């Protein structure tokens, strides 16, 4: 029996859960910086509901809406400066994974008045972050419940992650209604991200009993959504299925938080950085290869995964239907990417281990024409 598990985030869930958050947040202070992107916080209705709730509680909000997809470290630094300028005593991040990851970074940078944002990656900033709460508007990243923040470094355009207890939110308000306005492409990509978190954790040799139970729940809920999306290529899911997919992404996030990711995630970063493929879809491109390896190295786990998902053929069919990257990569480019992979901890989390040479061969198989 393996019962190792750690989840210090307080999650408050259900329709309207943010509306009654004023008293909880008021304990942190009277001034708040709300961090958002350019669209989803407003389109989902979450921003308006947050503003009303804060003002009713006597909290003065300032909005920073400068976070883009795959957030730049400089954007997080700008959000930290905004927090300092308005005297924010806590932060509220409203958006998808990019906004939530940026909020984690900004809260820590703001508390330390750091001008060199890359110091964040040392995990050794002197002061703890400002308190922060998160409100998710997508059904995929699970960032609400993880200690991970993934940021893009301006100087080279590469994604880097930091995993640290200071990246845990103090509070999460999980209202699936805020995902109802998500466009189809984002719905598909974020659901694929949740599946990637689940499958990569599932095959991690260190995946224990509690993580397996979380993954089983995620496979059921996220799998239902992906199956529907694959069968209805021009449509959007209705509210009940949206609810399932959102809560499934939180179960998947708890798997990710405990196990970390295997090779699909760092490989997916390259497809996002260089070719603009959305993060979740970019990671899922490599799931068939990981799963085939799981069938070889951990056949019992693979068969259990297929049963939970609805069958082996269904699993591979759905991935093929929803991941369609039409890109070509040269042999020289692939070799250059492989130079980034030695020492990746993600390889140790892959069944049977993994090597940069195997990764290079996989890229050639998928993208060399």
Domains 10-179 and 184-367 are alike in CATH topology: no
Do the beta carbons of residue 68 and residue 131 sit within 8 Å? no
Please say whether the dihedral angle defined by the alpha carbons of residues 182, 183, 184 and 188, taken in this order, is positive or negative: negative
Is residue 240 classed exposed, middle or buried when 0-12, 13-18 and 19+ CB atoms within 10 A define those classes? exposed
Q: What is the Cα–Cα distance from 184 to 269, expressed in whole angstroms?
A: 22
CB atoms within 10 A of CB 357: 10
CATH of domain 184-367: 1.20.1090.10
CATH number belonging to the domain at 10-179, selected among 3.40.50.1970, 1.10.510.10, 3.20.20.80, 3.40.50.2300: 3.40.50.1970
CB atoms within 10 A of CB 34: 24
Element (H or E) spanning 248, and its range? helix 239-259
Give pLDDT tens digits along the chain (369 positions). 678 888 999 999 999 999 999 999 999 999 999 999 999 999 999 999 999 999 999 999 999 999 999 999 999 999 999 999 999 999 999 999 999 999 999 999 999 988 888 889 998 899 999 999 999 999 988 999 999 999 999 999 999 999 999 999 999 999 999 999 999 999 999 999 999 999 999 999 989 999 999 999 999 999 999 999 999 999 999 999 999 999 999 999 999 999 999 999 999 999 999 999 999 999 999 999 999 999 999 999 999 999 999 999 999 999 999 998 889 999 999 999 999 999 999 999 999 999 999 999 999 999 997
Q: What is the Cα–Cα distance from 246 to 253, expressed in whole angstroms?
A: 11
Q: How far is CA 105 from CA 91, 135, 259, in A?
A: 11, 16, 21
pLDDT at 1 (0 to 100): 65
The angle at the Cα of 5, spanning 246 to 90, to the nearest 5 degrees, equals 60
pLDDT by residue (tens digit) across 171-197?
999 999 999 999 999 999 999 999 999
In a 3-state reduction of DSSP, which class is residue 31? Answer: strand
Q: What is the Cα–Cα distance from 194 to 142, expressed in whole angstroms?
A: 7
> Percentages helix, strand, coil for the chain, rounded to the nearest 5?
55, 10, 35
Do the beta carbons of residue 201 and residue 259 sit within 8 Å? yes
pLDDT at 178 (0 to 100): 98
- Which tokens in the block code for residue 17? 């859960």
In a 3-state reduction of DSSP, which class is residue 96? Answer: coil
- The tokens 């020289």 sit on which residue? 332
Q: Are strands 159-163 and 148-152 parallel, antiparallel or unpaired?
A: antiparallel
pLDDT at 140 (0 to 100): 87
Radius of gyration of the chain from its Cα atoms, rounded to whole angstroms? 20
Please say whether the dihedral angle defined by the alpha carbons of residues 95, 98, 104 and 108, taken in this order, is positive or negative: negative
pLDDT by residue (tens digit) across 304-317?
999 999 999 999 99
User: 126-139 burial string, b = 16+ CB within 10 Å, else e?
Assistant: eeebbbbbbbbbbb
Q: What is the Cα–Cα distance from 201 to 216, expressed in whole angstroms?
A: 11
User: What are the sequence ranges of the domains in the chain?
Assistant: 10-179, 184-367
Q: What is the Cα–Cα distance from 132 to 154, expressed in whole angstroms?
A: 24
CB atoms within 10 A of CB 186: 21
Using alpha carbons, select from 277, 279, 262, 261 the residue that is nearest to residue 367: 277
Using alpha carbons, select from 179, 252, 255, 188 the residue that is nearest to residue 225: 188
- Which tokens in the block code for residue 120? 């964040």
Distance of CA 298 to the CA centre of its chain: 26
pLDDT at 133 (0 to 100): 98
List, in sequence order, every beta strand (DSSP E) within 137-226: 148-152, 159-163, 171-174
């Amino acid at each position: 029996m393996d019962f190792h598990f750690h989840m210090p985030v307080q999650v408050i869930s259900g329709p309207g859960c943010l509306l009654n958050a004023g008293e909880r947040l008021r304990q942190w202070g009277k001034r708040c910086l709300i961090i958002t992107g350019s669209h989803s916080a407003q389109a989902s209705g979450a921003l308006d509901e947050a503003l009303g709730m804060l003002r009713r509680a006597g909290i003065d909000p300032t909005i920073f809406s400068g976070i883009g997809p795959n957030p730049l470290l400089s954007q997080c630094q700008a959000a930290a400066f905004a927090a300092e300028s308005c005297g924010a005593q806590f932060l509220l991040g409203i958006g998808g994974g990019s906004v939530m990851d940026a909020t984690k970074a900004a809260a820590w940078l703001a508390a330390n008045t750091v001008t060199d944002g890359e110091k964040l990656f040392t995990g050794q900033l002197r002061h703890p972050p400002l308190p922060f709460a998160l409100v998710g508007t997508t059904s995929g990243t699970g960032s609400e419940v993880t200690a991970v923040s993934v940021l893009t470094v301006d100087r080279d355009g590469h994604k880097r992650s930091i995993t640290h207890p200071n990246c845990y939110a103090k509070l999460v308000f999980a209202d699936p209604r805020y995902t109802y306005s998500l466009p189809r492409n984002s719905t598909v990509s974020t659901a694929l991200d949740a599946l990637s978190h689940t499958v990569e954790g599932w095959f991690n040799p260190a995946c224990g009993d509690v993580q397996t139970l979380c993954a089983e729940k995620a496979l059921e809920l996220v799998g239902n959504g992906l199956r529907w999306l694959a069968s209805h290529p021009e449509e959007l899911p209705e509210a009940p299925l949206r609810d399932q997919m959102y809560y499934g992404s939180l179960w998947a996030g708890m798997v990710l938080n405990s196990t970390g990711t295997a090779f699909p995630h760092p490989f997916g970063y390259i497809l996002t950085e260089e070719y603009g493929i959305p993060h979740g879809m970019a990671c899922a491109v490599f799931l068939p290869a990981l799963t085939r390896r799981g069938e070889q190295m951990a056949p019992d786990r693979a068969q259990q995964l297929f049963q939970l998902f609805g069958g082996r053929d269904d699993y591979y069919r759905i991935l093929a239907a929803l991941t369609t990257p039409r890109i070509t990569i040269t042999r020289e480019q692939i070799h250059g990417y492989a130079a980034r992979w030695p020492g990746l901890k993600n390889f140790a989390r892959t069944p049977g281990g993994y090597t940069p040479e195997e990764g290079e061969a996989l890229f050639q198989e998928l993208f060399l024409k």
